[in-house]
Amino acid sequence: MIKKVLIANRGEIALRIVRACAEMGVRSAAIYTEPDRYALHVKRADEAYFIGEDPLGGYLDARRIVNLAAETGCDAIHPGYGFLSENAEFSRICNERGIAFIGPSAEVISRMGDKTEARAAMIGAGIPVTPGSDGNLQDLDEALLVAEKLGYPVMLKATSGGGGRGIRRCDTPQELKQQYPRVISEATKAFGSAEVFLEKCIVDPKHIEVQILADKHGNVIHLFERDCSIQRRNQKLIEIAPSPQLSDAQRDYIGDLAVRAAKAVNYENAGTVEFLLTGEDFFFMEMNTRVQVEHTITEAITGVDIVREQIRIAAGLPLRYQQSEIHYRGFALQFRINAEDPKNNFLPSFGKISRYYAPGGPGVRTDTAIYTGYTIPPYFDSMCLKLIVWAMDWEDVLDRGSRALEDMRLQGVKTTASYYQGILHDAEFRSGVFNTSFVVNHPELLNYSEKRHPNDIALAIATAIAAHAGL
């Protein structure tokens, strides 16, 4: 069994991995750059190592991280999500040094990270894919010809893209001409590759993804699906498991597709196969070769500890479950509480947290690395907390989510929490039928009011009095 894991990440996912290691009797080693000197994952890990002043550089230096793991006696590295988690070279270096990479092989990461190769692999496995270009585009002229053949609107995508970046919708030839150099520029800066391809734009789809686990012995299972349709500019906001929009037949079908997709590329460890649903048709979109931000809600409905299973798989152990043993109960929601101001075009709101109180009660979980007095640095993603709620039925989970959001206190920065309250009370969302255009089609939900709890008002008055009295 793996004895010591270096966590090549930060924030809430690093802390999540620390906790899984602790439960398994595995030592954990954290890394941090200067802005994270007082971060919670640094305090909670068994060991912590400083990797430089540069806020981002240390987390992106694959060879340095692997060398540190070797020097400190770590026999495995968990990359979390983001940073180097889908970097094939990172996985390859780990393998060269005899350190287990808690994720798939370099070959699989490379193949699935290249969107055109991933499409080709899925076509070969009989998985339906969105109609698109045959490989990467050579130039703008080819892009215009392919778009004319597919019919507008089309999606221009970076081949190595991810996380909602390097994607542009084009409704006319003129828009395609404008967006082509922009996407190439963004792709080159963000992913180091200028390659792009085209897909037919599926208008107003539902975004459904399936969690899979695969071991080194050829066993692959799925843990049902998550609905990620509530998103803004391709960035997920609220995730739901299972999807309230699928029939049992659709659920079985898409689960089978995900398992076939994983087997087609000899996948190992945890992964997510993402689909677009339009009408009754599912289309493969991409495969994420890492643990997802929203793995929490799959854990809530199935009881499977996904991070624990990742570590077991990386150690060479077989899956503990067969597909027939995987069942789900109830519904779970995850709210990405971002340090952003929804009323100001979701502008990031970094700064010091003056007060934080986590909600609790039955079926409530918070994954975060913040605390009262913690300063959210401006160098990283704006997500500062994940609030997860579970209940036996749809109406109950909506009500529990509203109550938990109301219970939470996170002051000192603007957040998306109040905006989510509006979504929860919207009739369309509560009906359980919505698609990826929900946010853009409901701009009125941004007209929410910031309610102040009586206790907050009393605290503010007491603070003012104390300050005036010189206490």
CATH code for 206-454? 3.30.470.20
Are 183 and 169 a contacting pair, CB within 8 Å?
no
**pLDDT exceeds cutoff 70 at 469:** no
pLDDT tens string 130-168: 999 999 999 999 999 999 999 999 999 998 877 677 899
The overall average pLDDT reported for the chain is 94
What SS3 class is residue 332?
strand
Catalytic residue set? 290
Distance CA 54, CA 35 (A): 9
| Cβ neighbours of 469 (radius 10 Å) | 7
Query: Is domain 131-200 annotated with CATH 3.30.1490.20?
Result: yes
pLDDT tens string 103-114: 999 999 999 999
Are 268 and 108 a contacting pair, CB within 8 Å?
yes
Distance CA 86, CA 172 (A): 33
Q: Is 199 exposed, middle or buried (0-12, 13-18, 19+ CB in 10 A)?
A: buried
Q: To which residue do tokens 């802390």 refer?
A: 15
Architecture of the domain spanning 4-102: 3-Layer(aba) Sandwich (3.40)
What DSSP designation does 445 have?
A: G
Sequence ranges of the domains in the chain: 4-102, 131-200, 206-454
pLDDT tens string 57-77: 999 999 999 999 999 999 999
Q: Is 32 exposed, middle or buried (0-12, 13-18, 19+ CB in 10 A)?
A: buried
pLDDT tens string 326-356: 999 999 999 999 999 999 999 999 999 999 9
